[in-house]
Chain A
Amino acid sequence: MLLIECPWCGVRDQTEFHCHGEAHIARPLNPDSLSDEEWGSYVFFRNNPKGLHYERWEHSHGCRRWFNAARDTVTDHIYATYKPGAVKPEIES
């Protein structure tokens, strides 16, 4: 079970959190201007890397806040957690 640092609450057990997949996917500002392919890519397609992955997490059984985490999908090592809107940290993995 992972230990995850909520940027607001501190370090907590994984059971308090939900993972919501890839982070840093902005909703298109003007969906009508997108081709079907572009919109489909926004709605359906996500990266599934082996290694470093930037993800969205929700402290669902805690403060209910969302945040981002940089996690290695192989080792489960979490390099950093940061608030939404913060700059994506550069990680050398």
Chain B
Amino acid sequence: MSQDYRLDKGGRLNRSKTLRFWYDNKGYEGYQGDTLASALLANGVHLVGRSFKYHRPRGIYSAGSEEPNALVQLESGAHTEPNRRATEVELYEGLSASSQNCWPSVGFDIGAINSKISRLLPAGFYYKTFMWPGALWTTYEKFIRKAAGLGKSPTEIDPDSYDKIHAHCDVLIIGAGPAGLQAALHAGRSGARVMLIDEKPMFGGSLLTDSALIDGAPADQWVTKIINELKQMGEVTRLTRTTVTGYYDYNFVVANERVNEHLSPNRKAGGPKERLWKIRARQVVLATGAIERPLVFADSDRPGIMLAHALRTYIIHYGVLPGNRIALVTNNDSAYHSALDAHAAGAMVEVIDVRRNPSGSLIDRAREKGIHIHENSTISAVDYRRGKLRGIEVMQLSDDGKAVRGVPSDSRCDLVAVSGGWTPTVHLFSQAKGKLKFLDDQHCFVPGERAVNNQGFEAGACKATWSLSDCLKEGAIAGASAASAAGFESTATEDAPETEESVYGPARALWILPTDHPVGRGPKKHFHELHNDSTVADIALAAREGFISIEHLKRYTTTGMGTDQGKTSNLNALTVMSEIRDVPIPEVGTTTFRPPFTPLSFGSIVGHDRRELFVQQRKTAMQPWHNRNNAVYEDVGDWKRPFYFPHHGESMHDAVQRECLSARTSAGIVDASTLGKIDIQGPDARRLLNMVYTNAWSKLAPGRCRYGLMLNEHGMVFDDGVTTCLAENHFHMTTTTGGAARVMGWLEEWLQTEWPEWQVYCTSVTEQWAVASITGPNAGKLLSKLCGQPLDEESFPFMSMQSFSVAGIPARVFRISFTGDLTFEINVPARYGLALWEALMEAGQEYDICPYGTEAMHILRAEKGFIIVGQDTDGTVTPMDLGMDWIVSKTKGDFLGRRSFTRSDTARSGRKQLVGLLTEDPSFVLPEGVHVVEKLKDKPPMSMLGHVTSSYMSPNVGRSIAMALIKDGFNRKGSTLEVSLMDGSSHKVTVTDPVFLKSGNE
């Protein structure tokens, strides 16, 4: 086939550049400038896919982003993209696409059986059928997903790159049709920073398909002139192939630019495939135009039926005449443009006009050309057989337009074009919380009042301004007014070029056209919603079942829920419901327009934020050593922490057990650099510590350390750590690794909002210090070796800090312990961290020093019953619940959370309390998180006593150990409880004190 439907001349094509492409594995040719849709139509291909629910054959319905039918799978392998609109896919050499939602082929599709059994698939079918029993949903789901759904998502990693950019402007103009171009020109002339954005590959909007003259010349020339003037303005940014997908608060606008997306995946051009623009504008001018509204008649979803303006676009813009015998069906005058253009292009044309006595200049011109007009008529049947549209039946309408009369007359045709007037594109206005108003005489919603934070103007067809000269005038005023509102000198004038006007006669308010059966009965279907296969009968069913709210109607029938968001169907659905309920359309309401206007690719949303750039990784100074020594990492917040260090062939369990034993019997070393560290200075530093910790800080001497619990005002523990007095007004606070930022924020919150007069300054120093913590009976000897001085109880007591050199590196050494054994936490400036670690490893060889990871660290602390905030606590736990009354000062006065201790719920007995659990079988390790009950019953309900918070195999205790939060746990010590396990079995446990290892004294 070689472009049998291509016109000899016309269209904005590069006819010297023939492009070869494949659709469903069949080769075709088109020209540079085509879309996939126009090229398919040039080759006589109308049938491009199967519908969503009934698998009905469907064709190309539009020529733009409103396309509900022609969704294709573009390319294959890693480059494949589902649900691409053939009307927007620009043709390139070697393009390959395939139809969706059909098997084994688009011509013969097994799923089409759904069409025969459509009575069994009413609206709400899924809701009704698959509600119960819930357990079977997983079974249903597999079949539903296979039978429904659209294209297939790619399974390989996307090889393309995507970009993001932020931009600011004074005036953003969305839509570069006549109104948008005028707005850009007049805003640009004021010197304002202007951005002009349009979704098409070239500017011009409706002028690209208009044969009108502007200033006596073809519209193209005027468009070129304006673009040339805009190019001269340094502050004007022009973006084509860019869709504004979302309009958010404070004039924040998101737009997706298809930079190289229109080129072959094998393109050599540099740059990203797509670029996501995040634009903040002072003023936004909406010149978004309008979308043609369909007429719905019996089987009006057949391939070969398209919107009248799409027909015109294919003729004028793409040089394609998609049919030779064309029937137009319309309720208004605008379709006559298409009729005249099709006639001029050589087609045999007839018009079926639902109006009685249509009149006006356009109709006169059609009659002069010999175009036959069936007045007061409708299409009562469509003859679609063997993949081709073959003809239609035309009948007279009754007076009220709700029935047909007389006898049908057959008419042969291979294309039907429909027009039900125009729907202003108000999606963005509505997204931006603007209020819509309904124009009774125009039968459409238009922008009403703007949201207070989204200031700007509207111009042209998006506010139901239909005449070209009015659009040009409104554009000029909107552009100038926006510039002026943004603070630029600009006077709004109705400066607009001369145009010739076609005066339109009135339309007839009739969109759902009758057939010989009542709508919804008989074999023919009235699809108002092509994308999701929803019929007028479905709306009636929804109404009968009480789903009359437009939001319910939408979800029940899925009207407007497709990837096209119902751009062609919403208003017809509203009209049907308004007639059923016999209320005006504004009372039926309209659903909320939500972003995106057209679907965004995941690639565009993600941009560069993938792989190693997805999340920032924090690494300690010692990580090079960890890498060299086989560390397995664990994510703790954004930190990468060594989890354990397996020897060759060693399992995690074996490695962790070995690390725990070594640390207790000789020496262990752990990288503690990730602990949060806050430097606190100022005369009121102690005052702050007294308020944020539960214990007293007034007398802590310089060089001494103290452990503290931090509570929120609910009295619940939210962080812990050791804070050290460096000097009278200078403290070094440590926090949990995950809580560092939260604690810093907590201190600042109180200092800034409640105690601004206090003189305290907090600085995060987490990243400034690298910390190696050595523990075990030989830790002191090891450190002695490296600092050249003896370290005994007297010269360096527990819970104190000293500054001296370690291996020649200036260090702050803290004698504090998270293992319960002798431990030194050696802090050095981060840049010396690796050198310190290497020196400790070398000097530690004689003690078989063992590097250990976070898992061993957790076991070592659990052996001693030390808590981990966030693991053994969960925001509902007081210090008393942890058995840590000793840390709560009774005498120092007020501190954060204290008053909540005496609240009835906090003070009551029987709260969940932290206890130890020992399993009946010492080799069995309880899963963390399992529930504990008094006595397991055969089946629920049974009262849960609590859950296991920590559980390990402890080599030093020689058995499994666990900690748990148990109701009234302190009083249950010694008693036996049961835990239920995932496999349905149970295990007996004995409640104990959580300190499992009595040796070690720190």
Contact A34 B452 (CB under 8 A): no
B756 contacts chain A at the CB level, 8 A cutoff: yes
- Known A58-B749, A65-B752; judge A1-B903 contact (CB<8 A): no
- Known A31-B898, A56-B753, A77-B453; judge A43-B748 contact (CB<8 A): no
A66 contacts chain B at the CB level, 8 A cutoff: yes
- In the complex, which residues of chain B have a beta carbon less than 8 angstroms from the beta carbon of A85? 756
- In the complex, which residues of chain B have a beta carbon less than 8 angstroms from the beta carbon of A76? 249-250, 453
Contact A1 B248 (CB under 8 A): yes
Query: Could you tell me the distance in whole angstroms from the C-beta of B577 to the nearest C-beta in chain A?
Result: 28
Contact with B along A41-72 (1 / 0, CB 8 A): 01100000000000010101000111000000
B704 contacts chain A at the CB level, 8 A cutoff: no
- Known A3-B280, A32-B894, A32-B899; judge A66-B753 contact (CB<8 A): yes
Contact B748 A64 (CB under 8 A): yes
Query: Could you tell me the distance in whole angstroms from the C-beta of B500 to the nearest C-beta in chain A?
Result: 44
B900 contacts chain A at the CB level, 8 A cutoff: yes
Q: What CA separation (Å) do A32 and B248 show in the bound complex?
A: 47
Contact B899 A1 (CB under 8 A): no
B440 contacts chain A at the CB level, 8 A cutoff: no
- In the complex, which residues of chain B have a beta carbon less than 8 angstroms from the beta carbon of A36? 902-904
Q: What CA separation (Å) do A36 and B900 show in the bound complex?
A: 8
- Known A1-B252, A77-B453, A85-B756; judge A60-B898 contact (CB<8 A): no
* Size of interface on B: residues with Cβ below 8 Å to A: 25
Query: Could you tell me the distance in whole angstroms from the C-beta of A27 to the nearest C-beta in chain B?
Result: 5
Contact with B along A13-49 (1 / 0, CB 8 A): 1000000100000111011101010011011000000
Contact A40 B752 (CB under 8 A): no
Q: What CA separation (Å) do A42 and B713 show in the bound complex?
A: 9
Contact A31 B894 (CB under 8 A): yes
Contact B249 A43 (CB under 8 A): no
Q: What CA separation (Å) do A1 and B640 show in the bound complex?
A: 32
- In the complex, which residues of chain B have a beta carbon less than 8 angstroms from the beta carbon of A30? 894
B85 contacts chain A at the CB level, 8 A cutoff: no
- In the complex, which residues of chain B have a beta carbon less than 8 angstroms from the beta carbon of A58? 745, 749
Q: Quick one: which of A13, A28, A39 contacts B900, CB cutoff 8 A?
A: A39
Contact B752 A84 (CB under 8 A): yes
Q: What CA separation (Å) do A38 and B407 show in the bound complex?
A: 83
Query: Could you tell me the distance in whole angstroms from the C-beta of B403 to the nearest C-beta in chain A?
Result: 47
Contact B451 A75 (CB under 8 A): yes
Contact A2 B249 (CB under 8 A): yes
- In the complex, which residues of chain B have a beta carbon less than 8 angstroms from the beta carbon of A20? 749
Contact B748 A77 (CB under 8 A): no
Q: What CA separation (Å) do A58 and B749 show in the bound complex?
A: 9
Q: Quick one: which of A3, A27, A39 contacts B754, CB cutoff 8 A?
A: A27
Query: Could you tell me the distance in whole angstroms from the C-beta of B249 to the nearest C-beta in chain A?
Result: 5
Which residue of B has the minimal Cβ distance to A64? Answer: B748
Which residue of A has the minimal Cβ distance to B741? Answer: A60
Contact B714 A43 (CB under 8 A): yes
Q: What CA separation (Å) do A84 and B748 show in the bound complex?
A: 13
Q: What CA separation (Å) do A76 and B252 show in the bound complex?
A: 13
Could you list which residues of chain A lie within 8 angstroms of chain B, going by C-beta atoms? Answer: 1-3, 13, 20, 26-28, 30-32, 34, 36, 39-40, 42-43, 56, 58, 60, 64-66, 75-77, 84-85
20 A-B residue pairs with Cβ-Cβ distance under 8 Å, sorted by A, are: A1-B250, A2-B249, A2-B250, A3-B249, A3-B252, A3-B280, A3-B453, A26-B754, A27-B754, A36-B903, A39-B899, A39-B900, A39-B903, A42-B713, A43-B714, A43-B900, A58-B749, A65-B752, A66-B748, A75-B451
Could you list which residues of chain B lie within 8 angstroms of chain A, going by C-beta atoms? Answer: 248-250, 252, 280, 433, 451-453, 713-714, 745, 748-749, 752-754, 756, 894, 898-900, 902-904
Apart from A1-B248, A1-B250, A84-B752, 16 more pairs, CB < 8 Å: A1-B249, A3-B250, A3-B453, A13-B280, A31-B894, A31-B898, A32-B899, A34-B899, A40-B903, A43-B713, A58-B749, A60-B745, A65-B752, A66-B749, A76-B453, A84-B753
Closest 9 CB pairs of A and B: A31-B899, A3-B250, A66-B752, A1-B252, A77-B452, A43-B713, A84-B753, A75-B452, A39-B899
